[in-house]
Every structure is written in structure tokens, then in C-alpha cells.
Amino acid sequence: MNNKKVLISGVNSGIGYATALIFAKEGFSIFGIDLNEEVNPTLSKKVASLNSSINYSKLDVSDYQQVGEYFEKLNLEIDVLVNNAGILGPRVKTADYPKDAFDTILDVNVKGVFHMTKLALPHLKKDAKSSIVNVASVAGLVGMANHIAYSASKHAVVGMTKTLAIEYAKIGIRVNAVCPGFTETNMLENAQLEIEYREGLKYATPMKRFGVAEEIASAIYYLASENASFITGHCLTIDGGLTAQ
């Protein structure tokens, strides 16, 4: 997969960061977007050490106009789109859930995926080797108490993944998703969970640990690679057995 190009949203940390590194290791040029003004300098150095490069832009995926302007300037073909940008929101029961928070989460997690995908499609190569990988969640497969907006948004991502896979299979674009369980990323840290609650989440996972970003990134790369050439419309669960119970 040398000399190919991957576009990753939410590239500066967590799963996006790890995904950039694994694609760089495999010879891809990285096009990364995030909300920060500049690319994470450590990521940039690591990508360079892998004999690759990263072209970074500040971008809010929830802003359709911004995304459109980005693709107009991009003006090149890409091989893989990874829709990774997402936010969790507060942990609150539905009756008390803030409407503004609900709207924001759907703007980023649902509309953001729609914006990026719709506007990236004309730039994806039509050669039976290009693909889109969406980062959903186990919260898109089962209910997630006290996270009505996040669960709704990730169920939507799963539905969009399957719809896109059907629509674009004939022209050679595969569309899949990963559904991580609890993973050690900034999102989990920023949730500021009580120690007892964190330990409860680990206990609820049969493997008795959280995942790490590199494990999710490896699955994303697999789905984008030619080793998954007959896989489309699939949502790969990576959760230490959580949803097998």
C-alpha cells in the first residue's frame, strides 16, 4: 500500500494519533485534521521518523462549509478516509440531559461523519482498493446508560456505514466501521470518571482491562487493507468481550 494517501479526522490524539502512525509505517502519506491550530509536534516527528509526512489542517468536521473548503483546496485523490473525530458528552440521565450538549454531540459525531464522507467521496479512488473506515463504538451496538446522545450518534454511524457500503460497493469503495469498547484515550480521561466507576467498567469487561489506541488503529488499518478486500458493511467489535456477555 506504498505511496498511498489516508485522511484521518481527530488525528492529534488517541485513536487518530495511533492510526496515523500505523498508516505511516505502511508507507502512506498522512492528511490529518483536528481542532488544534497546529499538528501535535510529537506525532509529526514520529511520522517523519517512519519516512512519511503529515499534511495537517485545522478543521471542525461539524461545519459543512469548512469541510467543503478543505476538500476544494485538497484537490487530489485519496485512498482511505478514517472518520475518527468524535466527542462523548456528559454522563447524565436522559431526563436531565442538556439539549445543547445533545445537539453538539450529534453535530460532531453524526453530521461530521456525513460531511466528511459526502465531500470526500469525489476524491476517493474508484479502483476497488479505496475504503472508508468509521470509528463507531460498542455504544452503537448496545445501549449506554446516561449517554443518550453518544449512543444515538454511534448507532447512527453504524447505520450510515451499512448504507454507504451498499451504495458504493459496485464502484469499488468499501465502507466499514470499528466499534471499540472502553479504550485508554483522552476521551476516557476527560470523562473524569470516579475511580470506583472506572474499576467497574474494567470489571464488566471479560478481559479485565481497557483497550489501547494501538489495538483499535490496527483494526482500522486491517479494514482498509487489501487483506479485507471482501469485507464491506461490517462493524468490527473490539471490546475485550464486553458485548459477548
Distance (Å) of CA 87 to CA 12, 153, 173 = 14, 10, 27
Copy the grid coordinates of residue 15: 485513536
Copy the grid coordinates of residue 106: 450529534
Burial 5-35 (b: 16+ CB within 10 A, else e): bbbbbbbbbbbbbbbbbbbbebebbbbbbbe
Copy the grid coordinates of residue 221: 488499518
**Strand bridging mode 54-58 / 29-34:** parallel
Half-sphere exposure of 223 (CA within 13 A, CB side): 31
Whether residue 150 lies in the annotated active site:
yes
Copy the grid coordinates of residue 69: 473548503
Q: Provide φ and ψ at 134, rounded to 5°.
A: -100, 140
The one catalytic residue among 17, 70, 97, 150: 150
What would the DSSP string read from start to end of 81-116?
A: EEE----------GGG--HHHHHHHHIIIIIHHHHH
- Length reported for the chain: 245
Q: Distance between CA 189 and CA 184 in Å, rounded?
A: 7
Q: Distance between CA 129 and CA 180 in Å, rounded?
A: 24
State the catalytic residues: 150
